[in-house]
Amino acid sequence: MRRLANILWLGIKELRSLAADPVLLFFVIYAFSLAVYSQATGISFELRNASVGILDEDRSPLSLRLREALLPPHFKPPEAIAADELDRLMDTGRYTFVLDIPPDFQRDLIAGHQPQIQLNVDATAMSQAGIGAGYLQQILAQEIAAFLKADPAAPVALQMRIAFNPDNESSWFTGVVAVINNITMLAVLLAGAAVIREREHGTLDHLLVMPVSPLEIALAKLWSNGLVITLATGFSLWFVVHEVIGMPIAGSLSLFLLGVALYLFFATAIGLLLGTVARSMPQLGLLFILVVLPMNLLSGGNSPFESMPFALQVIMSAFPSSHFVAFAQAILYRGAGFGIVWPQFLATGLIGALVLAVALLRFRAAIAQATT
């Protein structure tokens, strides 16, 4: 009971220390509010307002019809260009797509020939280039079939049903990814900064003369910083992602927060470990870039985990961040219950416990070194 009381009061000291640090406090509030909203709404994977130029060498009713079929919000109103301007406008990035309709296109089409329309695509805009080329192909095929009064129906009709995100809202995806990444980022930074702050302010020496053990000091830092992250995560998901952005939370928010608390044993342990290695906040920042940023990028939140090379998948499976992303998406998007996500919970807990043990040993060694 004395050890638990020490851990409790030391953790309360950490919370007071965080509350007295306006920079870190603002950083926590910003990371789970404005940062999530701006990332969710500012980054779009849909095709919107793509610029289109049309080199119309046919000037027929059909070519005019094709031009008028490209409508907002997917495309900006197409602009007519001259033949000698095509290369220059593509080189300067003025248009993402340029349609080149050849001379006598309508006449050759009616005569039963197979004329071709050239579509020039600026593939540096990867998202718009891939999606927009497919949209343009579909629109042009439909308009040409309607002009010829042909039946555009395929022998087999494809009925598409989009599950979990019927409107293909990219903000639902980027908002949750922002929350997931910020959980790791803040947990590592807060735990690491707590250790460095003790060293820089000289309060670590005060703790060492108190009747507390290094284990109690470390656990106090872990639970206090983990509590702050868990509460901020719950607020961000309920208010920013659900209320402001409008994403429905399909599964149990309490189950997800339970998984967050489990994952924080790993993330805060990483911060504690880096805090014992770094001697100042700039050094902690450099270590953060080397460790946490690659872990976030390769965890499966920003790109499908299955798209990575197999060897990289095996390596990242040893990090709880990949399992965290898997059960977070399963709960929040697909409404999965504990019976589905328990393997990811188990893997996160086991790996997190191992890293936590290493971090505690390292912290105890650093404390012992400080006393000598």
Q: Is 187 within the bounds of a domain?
A: yes
CA distances from 156 to 140, 152, 271, 282 (A): 20, 11, 55, 61
| Residue 260 and residue 189 share a domain | yes
| Residue 260 and residue 112 share a domain | no
Give the per-residue pLDDT at 9.
83
| Residue 65 and residue 35 share a domain | no
Secondary-structure breakdown of the chain: helix, strand, coil percentages, each rounded to the nearest 5: 65, 5, 30
Would you state the structure tokens that stand for residue 155, as one six-digit string?
């022998």
Which of the listed residues 147, 163, 191 is the one where a domain comes to its end?
147
Q: Is 170 within the bounds of a domain?
A: no
Per-residue pLDDT band for 11 (boundaries 50, 70, 90) equals confident
Q: In what order do the strands lie in the sheet with 79-80?
A: 79-80, 52-56, 97-101, 118-121
Give the per-residue pLDDT at 178.
92
Q: Does residue 30 carry a pLDDT above 90?
A: yes
DSSP secondary structure of 11-56? HHHHHHHHHT-HHHHHHHHHHTTHHHHHHHHH---S--SB-EEEEE
Q: Is 162 within the bounds of a domain?
A: no
| Residue 138 and residue 18 share a domain | no
Query: Mean pLDDT, the chain, as a whole number?
Result: 86
| Residue 251 and residue 227 share a domain | yes
Would you state the structure tokens that stand for residue 181, as one six-digit string?
């990444």
Which carries the bigger pLDDT value, residue 356 or residue 366?
356
Give the per-residue pLDDT at 204.
65
| Residue 236 and residue 183 share a domain | yes
Amino acid at 289: I
Q: Is 158 within the bounds of a domain?
A: no
* HSE-up of residue 95 (Cα within 13 Å, Cβ side): 24
Per-residue pLDDT band for 181 (boundaries 50, 70, 90) equals very high
Amino acid at 292: V
Count: domains in the chain: 2
Q: Is 172 within the bounds of a domain?
A: no
* HSE-up of residue 165 (Cα within 13 Å, Cβ side): 15
Q: Is 229 within the bounds of a domain?
A: yes
Which of the listed residues 93, 124, 147 is the one where a domain comes to its end?
147
Asked whether 97 and 126 are in contact (CB, 8 A), the reply is no
Give the per-residue pLDDT at 372.
57
Any residues with CB less than 8 A from the CB of 271 and at least 6 apart, and which?
187, 188, 189, 190, 191, 192, 193, 194, 225
| Residue 251 and residue 283 share a domain | yes
| Residue 80 and residue 39 share a domain | no
Q: Is 173 within the bounds of a domain?
A: no
| Residue 102 and residue 34 share a domain | no
CA angle 298, 229, 324 (to 5 degrees): 30
Distance CA 157, CA 267 (A): 48
Distance CA 301, CA 322 (A): 8
Asked whether 99 and 119 are in contact (CB, 8 A), the reply is yes
| Residue 92 and residue 21 share a domain | no
Asked whether 187 and 229 are in contact (CB, 8 A), the reply is yes
Range of 13's domain?
A: 2-43+178-371
Q: What is the CATH number of the domain that holds 62?
A: 3.40.1710.10
| Residue 108 and residue 88 share a domain | yes
Which of the listed residues 131, 147, 163 is the one where a domain comes to its end?
147
